[in-house]
């Protein structure tokens, strides 16, 4: 009899534990790269329905930089703070829902003012009120990585001799551009210095290559970023795409000229 009772008790314990997990204080963090802006990191929480919010602590790289305590902001359910740093402008807005903060969120934006070089961690610790101070904490790593854009290939025709190709892409960190002929990597002729665009917050790179005329149809350029042990690639561009673009631009100009002449 005894073992059966033990089993039943443990099943009940496990069930009770699972139920508690489902309803307990819960924190979630999401991150998103917003084009022409930077990162948006959102920490949202939900407590037991009968609990209320004691505090939300936000940390960057394990250093706490903000605490949101609703009880200190009487009559206010929100708090906004901005940090103008050399490397970025950080802005946090915390907002508790009108249920004693049983749910709510803090939205943190990070707008780079300089090329971001390092990943950073972001964590959020949420605690319910006394006497239980039930809390949860989550941490995420925000990678200084925006996958390379699709490659754009342009034909820079020369008066005489073979056609030169110019391939451009953007990304973070600065992508490298790999040229292939018939899927074989070739050393490219020349690549420009990457330029950081303060509007898009991305690096822009270009590389030019002058293939043998008979190889033109087999030429591809691909932007790549190697980070840790991952290789992130952008969409390749082909010589045929570049030629089509050039030709359709030509056709477009002809149409405009024809219209003007009429
Ligand atoms: C609040 O709700 C939880 C889960 O339903 C329960 O375990 C706890 O005893 C309740 N606390 C109070 C103070 O009512
Ligand atoms: C390639 O294109 C980029 C971007 O349009 C430009 O800045 C660069 O001068 C071009 N390079 C060559 C060799 O044409
Ligand atoms: C910089 O980025 C902005 C926004 O994405 C874009 O409109 C602009 O053309 C870029 N400037 C250069 C020089 O690439």
Q: Which long-range contacts (CB under 8 A, 24 or more apart) does 189-196 make?
A: 196/115
Cα(206) to centroid(ligand 2), Å: 6
Residue 197 CB less than 6 A away from ligand 3: yes
Atom of ligand 3 at shortest range from CA of 197: 1
Q: Strand 152-156 to strand 164-171: parallel, antiparallel, or no bridges (unpaired)?
A: antiparallel
Residue 36 CB less than 6 A away from ligand 3: yes
Q: Probe ligand 2: pick from 189, 194, 206, 223, max atoms within 8 Å of CB? A: 206
Neighbouring CB atoms inside 10 A of 18's CB total: 10
Among 49, 41, 40, 43, residue whose Cα is nearest residue 27 = 43
**Cβ-contact 165, 209 below 8 angstroms:** yes
Atom of ligand 2 at shortest range from CA of 208: 13
pLDDT confidence of residue 249: 47
Nearest ligand by distance to the CA of 207: 2
Residue 168 CB less than 6 A away from ligand 2: yes
Atom of ligand 1 at shortest range from CA of 51: 1
Rounded to two decimals, what is the model's pTM? 0.80
In the sheet that 120-128 helps form, which strands lie side by side, from edge to edge?
63-68, 53-60, 120-128, 135-142
Q: How far is CA 63 from CA 28, 67, 114, 121, in A?
A: 19, 12, 21, 10
Cα(95) to centroid(ligand 3), Å: 34
Cα(216) to centroid(ligand 1), Å: 72
pLDDT confidence of residue 15: 47
Q: How many helices (H) and strands (E) does the chain have?
A: 2, 19
Which residues of the chain are modeled with pLDDT < 70? 1-23, 71-76, 158-159, 188-189, 243-262
Nearest ligand by distance to the CA of 20: 1
Q: Which two tokens stand for residue 106?
A: 């803090």
Cα(192) to centroid(ligand 2), Å: 8
pLDDT confidence of residue 140: 98
Residue 132 CB less than 6 A away from ligand 1: no
pLDDT confidence of residue 162: 79
Q: How far is CA 86 from CA 41, 80, 115, in A?
A: 20, 20, 11
Residue 200 CB less than 6 A away from ligand 3: yes
Please give the torsion angle defined by the CA atoms of residues 168, 188, 146 and 197, in that order, rounded to the nearest 10 degrees. Answer: -50
């Amino acid at each position: 009899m005894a073992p059966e009772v033990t089993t039943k008790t443990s099943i009940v314990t496990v069930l009770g534990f699972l139920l508690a997990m489902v309803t307990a204080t819960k924190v979630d963090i999401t991150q998103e790269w917003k084009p022409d802006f930077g990162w948006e990191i959102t920490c949202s929480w939900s407590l037991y329905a009968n609990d209320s919010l004691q505090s939300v602590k936000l940390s960057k790289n394990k250093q706490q930089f903000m605490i949101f305590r609703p009880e200190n902001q009487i009559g206010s359910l929100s708090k906004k703070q901005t940090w103008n740093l050399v490397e970025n402008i950080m802005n946090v807005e915390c907002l508790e829902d009108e249920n004693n903060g049983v749910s709510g969120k803090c939205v943190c934006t990070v707008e780079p003012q300089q090329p971001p070089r390092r990943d950073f961690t972001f964590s959020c610790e949420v605690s319910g009120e006394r006497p239980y101070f039930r809390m949860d904490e989550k941490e995420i790593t925000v990678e200084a990585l925006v996958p390379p854009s699709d490659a754009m290939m342009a034909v820079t025709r020369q008066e005489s001799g073979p056609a030169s190709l110019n391939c451009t892409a953007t990304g973070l960190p600065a992508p490298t551009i790999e040229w292939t002929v018939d899927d074989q990597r070739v050393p490219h002729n020349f690549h420009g210095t990457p330029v950081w665009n303060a509007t898009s917050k991305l690096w822009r790179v270009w590389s030019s290559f002058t293939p043998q005329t008979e190889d033109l149809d087999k030429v591809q350029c691909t932007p790549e970023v190697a980070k840790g042990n991952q290789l992130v690639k952008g969409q390749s561009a082909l010589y045929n795409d570049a030629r089509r673009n050039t030709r359709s631009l030509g056709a477009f100009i002809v149409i405009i000229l024809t219209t003007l002449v009429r």
